[in-house]
Chain A
């Protein structure tokens, strides 16, 4: 799951990026509105966490620009502005949620996950495929009730494939969804990750869950 964090406080950004990356999210960080617009032109994000008071281009303009482009990215406004008018303006301009600073990181994460569910039209926090169940809130995988130990990136890969069952993802498309824009890694890392994930799924009694379509990519049928 890919997030864009637009926040000009270096300390807050560092904490949030570390927190979300630790949960397996791919997180890009823009420190001002202009950089945010550049990121949004190049990448597609599941959720945008947006501060309102930004250098160069105000957050509300970033939001308007995003909505004008009809991008399906969900937007959570994270602001120190506590006036009702600010919340109304942001929501009217297309924000999906508004969280006031200071906030609880667990609450921010829960809201981001809720926005992800809304983005993909899910009503439950559980994704299932046969005996495999993913709890998207707890970010845990289990097979027939037994926990399946996965790294955050492996979990994210599996969640992406399960969330879009039947859709084939190229290696580059998966890399784009799982890694932030400044990542130095090569997209061949996806091959390695699919391989290790298949081994773990095999051991858990879930063989052939991930299908390779030669020349196209990977999918969960």
Chain B
């Protein structure tokens, strides 16, 4: 309705302005013509016309001709004005129609800017930028909802099935204890999924750029390892970090921590629990690299391209039962790398050790 009102109002104002201009021009034109007629033609008639009646008749005829001319000019001007206004308003009407199509369901519809007057064009460009941001935000929200719903369905089904089956009277205390442990593991799995997906949903490249601050990598890595120890996710001493204290980078601390969490959680979950997880800061000639290396006894070279696919799952018989088989960790890592503008690569060596490498850091 607001857009309609703007359109109608603008159209009325333009028409009024143009008609007023044409009317004033015609009035001026008639005044000049009257002066000219008075000065040259009337004097000529006075000289040539025999009587006053003859002169009046001639003047009357001249007036009629002039009036017809004026009316013709007025009509033609009005038509030209209307056509010009319509032509001038066409880009605006197209933009209005496009704006009408913008909705929550179709947020990515940008306004057509071709043909817009130079004065209005910056406004259209700004609106398009806003529409693009809105579409991105809505898409992130939609993806988040879909991902969350999908990823939570399985652990929720696990909890419900375990609770309902264990409610049957035929199970003893030992069975019930086992069921409860599994319910707890499923809940932890759900928590991990929610936190990971939230990290991705909130990750925004512009926001990450704005949140850049100097970050001491050794400190960030040490703090993350400490939290993994505290929560009991990994036993003390399994993760070894060799990151020099003097290494500082520019990054978003919150997203960098989420990235480390998912990277290490993936190594803990899929690596051999008897083997160490090694974190190294490498300095190859083409830039600094943060490497996480862990054993991956069941991983095959052909699996590497699938590691960051959200729905890709490793063979269940290779997966620890407690993991629940929800492989979103490296997908989250890849998503966060995109936001933080980092490069992610994988390497599986002959000893079946997976090296996950992050590069492209902005070192300070």
Q: Tell me the A residues contacting B by CB distance below 8 Å.
A: 8-12, 14-16, 18-19, 22, 31-32, 53-56, 80-82, 100-106
Is the beta-carbon distance between B311 and A53 smaller than 8 angstroms? yes
B161, B162, B170, B315: the one contacting A32 at CB < 8 Å is B315
Q: Shortest distance in angstroms between B274's beta carbon and chain A's nearest beta carbon?
A: 21
**CB-nearest residue of chain A to B317:** A31
Segment 139-161 of B: residues with Cβ below 8 Å from A: 149-151, 153-154, 156-161
**Bound-state Cα–Cα, A22 to B172, Å:** 13
CB distance from A86 to the nearest CB of B (A): 11
Partner of A55, one of B153, B160, B164, B316: B316
Within B298-330, which residues are at the interface with A (CB < 8 Å)?
A: 311, 313-317, 319, 321, 324-325
Alpha-carbon distance A11/B179, docked complex (angstroms):
9
Q: Are A102 and B170 in contact (CB under 8 A)?
A: no
Known contacts A18-B165, A103-B157; A11 and B182 CB within 8 A of each other: yes
Confirm or deny: B168 has a beta carbon within 8 angstroms of a beta carbon on chain A: yes
Measured CB to CB, the closest approach of chain A to B288, in angstroms, equals 36
A-chain residues with CB within 8 Å of residue B313 when the two chains form the complex: 8, 53-55
User: Which residues of B pack against A, CB within 8 Å?
Assistant: 149-151, 153-154, 156-162, 164-166, 168, 170-171, 175, 179, 182, 185-186, 311, 313-317, 319, 321, 324-325
Residues of chain A within 8 A (CB-CB) of B321 are: 10-11
Judge whether A11 and B185 touch: CB under 8 Å.
yes
Q: Is the CB of B315 within 8 A of A55?
A: yes
Which of A100, A103, A106 is the most central at the interface, judged by chain B CB atoms within 10 Å of its CB? Answer: A103
Query: What is the bound-complex CA distance between A83 and B123, given in angstroms?
Result: 39
Distance from B72 Cβ to chain A, minimum over Cβ atoms (Å): 66
Contact present for A15 and B150 (CB under 8 Å): no
A12→B150 contact, CB < 8 A: no
CB distance from A81 to the nearest CB of B (A): 7
The answer on a CB contact under 8 Å between B324 and A9 is yes
Question: In whole angstroms, what is the CA distance A127 to B150 when docked?
Answer: 40
Per CB-CB distance, the 5 closest pairs between chain A and chain B, nearest first, are: A80-B153, A31-B316, A15-B161, A101-B157, A102-B156
Contacts of B156 in A (CB 8 A): 101-102
Cα separation A8 to B315 with both chains bound (whole Å): 8
Q: Do the beta carbons of A104 and B324 come within 8 Å of each other? A: no
Shortest CB-to-CB span from A20 to chain B, Å, is 9
Complex CA gap A50/B157 in Å reads 14
Q: Is the CB of B158 within 8 A of A12?
A: yes
The answer to whether A81 and B150 touch across the interface, beta carbons within 8 angstroms, is yes
State the Cβ distance, B329 to closest chain A Cβ, in Å.
16
Please name all residues of chain B whose beta carbon is closer than 8 Å to the beta carbon of A10 when the two chains form the complex.
316, 319, 321, 324-325
Q: How far is the CB of A10 from chain B (nearest CB, A)?
A: 4
Residues of the A chain whose Cβ atoms lie less than 8 Å from the Cβ of B166: 15
CB<8 Å pairs between A and B, sample of 23: A9-B157, A10-B319, A10-B321, A10-B324, A11-B162, A11-B321, A12-B161, A15-B161, A15-B166, A18-B171, A19-B165, A19-B168, A32-B316, A53-B313, A55-B315, A80-B154, A82-B149, A101-B153, A101-B154, A102-B157, A104-B164, A105-B161, A105-B165
Partner of B150, one of A11, A80, A103: A80
B325 surroundings in chain A (CB, below 8 A): 8-10
Q: Which partner residue on chain B sits nearest A79 by CB separation?
A: B153
Q: A8-B325, A11-B185 are in contact. Are A22 and B170 (CB under 8 A)?
A: yes
User: Is A22 touching B168 in the complex (CB atoms < 8 A)?
Assistant: yes
A8 to B157 Cα, complex, angstroms: 13
Contact A105 B149 (CB under 8 A): no
Q: Specify which of B151, B161, B182, B185 is in contact with A16 (CB 8 Å cutoff).
A: B161
Q: Shortest distance in angstroms between B161's beta carbon and chain A's nearest beta carbon?
A: 4
In the bound complex, what is the Cα–Cα distance between A204 and B281 (angstroms)? 78
Of the residues B158, B165, B179, contact of A22 by C-beta under 8 Å: B165
Shortest CB distance B108–A (Å): 21
Tell me, rounded to whole Å, the shortest Cβ–Cβ distance linking A97 to chain B: 16
Instruction: Please measure, in the bound complex, the distance between the C-alpha atom of A102 and the C-alpha atom of B157, giving whole angstroms.
Output: 4
Residues of A within 8 A of B149 (CB): 82
State A80–B154 Cα separation when bound (angstroms). 6
Minimal beta-carbon separation of A54 from chain B (angstroms): 8
Residues of B close to A103: CB separation below 8 A: 157, 160-161
Complex: A42 Cα to B316 Cα, angstroms: 21
Residue of B nearest to A35 (CB): B317
- Asked if B168 and A9 sit within 8 Å, CB to CB, the answer is no
Assess the A8–B316 pair: CB atoms within 8 A: yes
A15, B316: Cβ atoms closer than 8 Å: no
* CA distance in complex: A54, B311 (Å): 10
Write the nearest CB–CB distance from A52 to chain B, whole angstroms. 10
Q: Which residues of A contact B157 (CB under 8 A)?
A: 9, 12, 80, 101-103
* Interface contact B165-A12, CB-CB below 8 Å: no
With a cutoff of 8 Å between Cβ atoms, the chain B residues found around residue A15 in the complex are 158, 161-162, 164-166, 179, 182
Nearest neighbor of A105 in chain B, beta-carbon distance: B164
Complex Cα–Cα for A93 and B308 (A): 29
User: What is the CA–CA distance of A12 and B157 in the complex, to the nearest angstrom?
Assistant: 7
